Chain A
Amino acid sequence: MEILSADRFTFEELTEAYNQTRVDYMVPMPMNVAKLREYVRVYDVSLVHSAVAVGDELMLGLGMLGVREDRGWITRLGVLPYGRRLGIGTTLMTGLTEQAVTHKLSQIWLEVIKGNEPAHRLFHRFGFVETRELIIARRPPLADNLPPPCEIDRVTTLDHEEAIILLSHRAKRANWLNETETMQNVHNLSGLLIETSDGGRGWVTYHAGLLQLTRIIVEVVAGDPANVTATVLHVLHQRHKRQDAIAENVSDDEQWPGYERAGYFDSFRRIEMVKDVKF
Chain B
Amino acid sequence: MAGNGRDQFARAAANIRGMKTILQIEDNHANRLLVERVFEKMPEYRLIQASDGESGVGLALDERPDLILVDMGLPDIDGQTVVTLIRQIPELKNTPVVAITAWPEDKAQEIAARYGCDGCITKPIDIRTFPTQIAQFLYGNP
Contact = CB atoms under 8 A, between A and B. Distances in A.
Contact of A25 (B77, B80, B102, B115): B102
Contacts of B85: 211
Interface stretch (B1-9, B16-24, B68-76): B68-76
A213 to B, nearest CB: 10
A238 B88 CA distance: 17
Contact of B74 (A24, A27, A30, A211): A30
B66 interface: no
Interface string B61-91: 0000000000001111110110011011000
Contacts of A211: 77, 81, 84-85
Contacts of A34: 76
Contact of A141 (B52, B84, B107, B110): B84
B110 A265 contact: yes
B104 A26 contact: yes
B102 A140 contact: no
A212 interface: yes
A165 interface: no
A82 B27 CA distance: 19
Contacts, number: 59
Interface string A217-260: 00000000000000000000000001110000000000000000
Contact of A138 (B52, B80, B102): B80
Interface string B109-131: 01100111000000000000000
A211 to B, nearest CB: 5
Interface in A1-33: 19, 22-32
Contacts of B103: 26-27, 268
A24 B116 contact: no
A99 B86 CA distance: 45
Nearest to B31: A23
A138 B27 CA distance: 22
Contacts of A141: 84, 88
Contacts of B77: 211-212
Interface residues of A, number: 27
A142 interface: yes
Given A28-B73, A267-B111, A142 B116 contact: yes
A31 to B, nearest CB: 5
A142 to B, nearest CB: 6
B73 A30 contact: yes
Given A23-B28, A24-B102, A25-B102, A140 B73 contact: no
A24 B88 CA distance: 31
Nearest to B28: A23
Contact of A27 (B28, B73, B114): B73
A238 B66 CA distance: 33
Contacts of A243: 84
Given A34-B76, A243-B84, 15 more contacts: A19-B75, A23-B28, A24-B102, A26-B103, A29-B78, A30-B27, A30-B74, A31-B75, A32-B52, A32-B76, A138-B114, A141-B88, A142-B116, A211-B81, A211-B84
